Amino acid sequence: MNIAYSTDEREADEGRQLAWIEEVEGLLGHSLDGNQKEQGYSLDYASDLYDKYYTPQAAALWFDTLKFRVGGEQRVRPTQASR
């Protein structure tokens, strides 16, 4: 069975996804327009998390964690280095 979405339904879903991305960006304090391998975040990866029904809060936590594990090597937050 082929289920076709109307243009209105597709546009409504795109609007929900953009609102979700804006909420994640607000929680992180920066844009998600980046390079996943170099910065630990990207709009493509955000779209994947949206499609997997992550909440904005869970996605922000995930991206915050990935930013410190860029390139497979774990980085230490500056506040932890001084302890």
The answer to whether residue 73 scores a pLDDT higher than 50 is no
| Residue 10: inside a domain | no
Give me the domain span that covers residue 78. 33-83
Instruction: Give the pLDDT band of residue 69 (cuts 50, 70, 90).
Output: low
Token pair 């998390």 is at which residue? 49
The pLDDT, as a whole number, for residue 57 is 97
Global pTM?
0.71
Q: What's the total number of domains in the chain?
A: 1
Q: Which residue has the higher pLDDT, 57 or 6?
A: 57
Q: Is residue 81 part of a domain?
A: yes
Please state, rounded to an integer, the average pLDDT across all residues of the chain.
82
Q: Is residue 68, in this structure, part of any structural domain at all? A: yes
Q: How far apart are CA 36 and CA 42, in angstroms?
A: 5
